Structure 1
Amino acid sequence: MTALDLLLGALAPDRCLHCRAPADAGALLCSGCRGALPWLADGGCARCGLPIPCAPGRCPARGTALSASWSPLAYEGPARSLALAGKARAPERVAAFLGAAMAQRLPPRLRAGSPVLVPVPADPVRGRRRGADHALLLARRLGRARELPWRAVLARPPAPARHRLAAGRRRGIELAPPRALRRAPPVVLLVDDVHTTGATLSACAVALQAAGAQEVRAVTAMRTLR
């Protein structure tokens, strides 16, 4: 999505966020792009969330603190445009759409054990610039639809502490619970918009386990397939 697309979207809101064709009043996508959304079938790797089962020892989530991952959409085509709009100019509307999709398709195995939804914390600088926390919006929508509690118990430390270049550390990302948190919920569903490498989700899971969580799963609106 280019700067021109964002400007046109602000001037003509009833246009598809993906192809810019006319859309129904209040709709995010035209009928064609809604039909082209890349839905993922539940039947791939339950650990990393990829749509095809991973070969033994080849799962990207092996060795991480995540016990399961799931996403209803691939991060492609119209879904990618939704994710970008959710961060740039229509966070509430996109969160309502994606939150409903996540709630409708959420597998029972991820709801087992009375989990608490925990949004992945936003970067403080980016959050202030965007004016909205997309992961928190998704957690609230999903929680209401599925009657699951949510708690924003994670926070990102200042950037210098997060981006360390020590050899062997994957991306150097560290997340820690705020000092007021004494115990994390026993079963946690981490919530975010897009699952890419899984490094941030894994770092969140480590922090939650350090605070007492027994199991950490991840649910995201979309999953990259590469």
Structure 2
Amino acid sequence: MSAWRRADVDRWLGRALPGRCVFCLAALPGEFPWCEACFAGLPWNVPACPGCGEPQPGGEAGRRCGHCLRRPPAFDRARVPLRYEAEVAGLVQRFKFDASPRAGRLLLDLLSTGLPEDVRAWPEALVPVPLHPRRARERGFDQALWLARRLGRHLGCPLLRAERSRDTPTQRGLDRGKRRTNLRAAFHVPEGLPGRVALVDDVVTTGATLDALSVACRSAGSREVEAWAVARTPLHDR
């Protein structure tokens, strides 16, 4: 289905199915756009490494993964409530590649709901992961900026912009180490960042992009950096 047809279906569903679960179309008694059963059945990223958000086996809850123990990321902790699987993967693809506002709104609601209240109140600023200007022009849509702007308004938190100073080659097919090398010195952040910032992106694969941006944020004055994203790609899917 083409992008404009998907957007057309999104608009039609928004008008024609008020009060229905966005996943199963069951009647909704509450304020959220999903029913309890579908919400519980989403691929929640639990347990996950508290350092990088890597999905963990059941017995590893609360422990940092081997990658974080060997080479801790430049950010202090990751907040990634969902895994990039099933319904969540479909929503991300429609949002990222088709610019579906309905999918984006759902992902934003899921991210906000998946963050505890004290975490939502923690940052002094949000910094979206930037696209290079050429990529932004080609795509016509910057998904991280879209999410961060709306999340910032919801949280009452200011938005600060970083720049992608180097148009890096695609990260697809690269392992963790090569991704880090690919992104070295790729970001510029203006001086004078507040002490606590949260980086915002849609999906985390290896965390290399967030790691590189965290280095730039610390150089610009931040003492603590968290990485926030909607979903994390499980290791076996990379």
Q: TM-score range by the shorter chain?
A: 0.7 to 0.9
| Residue of structure 1 in register with 2:45 after alignment | 40
RMSD over equivalenced CA pairs, Å = 3.2
**TM-aligned CA distance change 1:56 to 1:101, over 3 Å:** closer
Q: What displacement does 1:115 show?
A: 2.8
Choose the corresponding residue for 2:17, options 15, 24, 33: 24
**TM-aligned CA distance change 1:108 to 1:68, over 3 Å:** farther
Q: Work out whether 1:50 is the aligned partner of 2:92.
A: no
Question: 4+ runs of 1 displaced by more than 6 Å?
Answer: 25-28
User: What stretches of structure 2 of length at least 5 have no aligned partner?
Assistant: 27-33, 170-176
Q: What displacement does 1:114 show?
A: 4.0
Distance in 2 (alpha carbons) for counterparts of 1:206 and 1:145: 27
Question: SS in structure 1 opposite 2:230?
Answer: strand
Distance in 1 (alpha carbons) for counterparts of 2:66 and 2:25: 36
Note if contact 1:15-1:28 (Cα within 8 Å) is conserved in structure 2.
no
With normalisation by structure 2, the TM-score equals: 0.73
- Identity %, equivalent residues: 35
What is the number of residues matched between the two proteins?
Answer: 209
Q: Work out whether 1:133 is the aligned partner of 2:142.
A: yes
Distance in 2 (alpha carbons) for counterparts of 1:183 and 1:51: 34
With normalisation by structure 1, the TM-score equals: 0.77
Question: SS in structure 2 opposite 1:31?
Answer: coil
Note if contact 1:14-1:25 (Cα within 8 Å) is conserved in structure 2.
no
Note if contact 2:49-2:65 (Cα within 8 Å) is conserved in structure 1.
no
Counterpart of 1:58, as a letter, is: G
| Residue of structure 1 in register with 2:201 after alignment | 192
Note if contact 1:15-1:29 (Cα within 8 Å) is conserved in structure 2.
no
Counterpart of 2:208, as a letter, is: A
Q: What displacement does 1:88 show?
A: 2.2
Note if contact 2:54-2:65 (Cα within 8 Å) is conserved in structure 1.
no
Kindly indicate which of the two structures has a greater share of residues assigned to helix.
2
Q: Work out whether 1:177 is the aligned partner of 2:181.
A: no
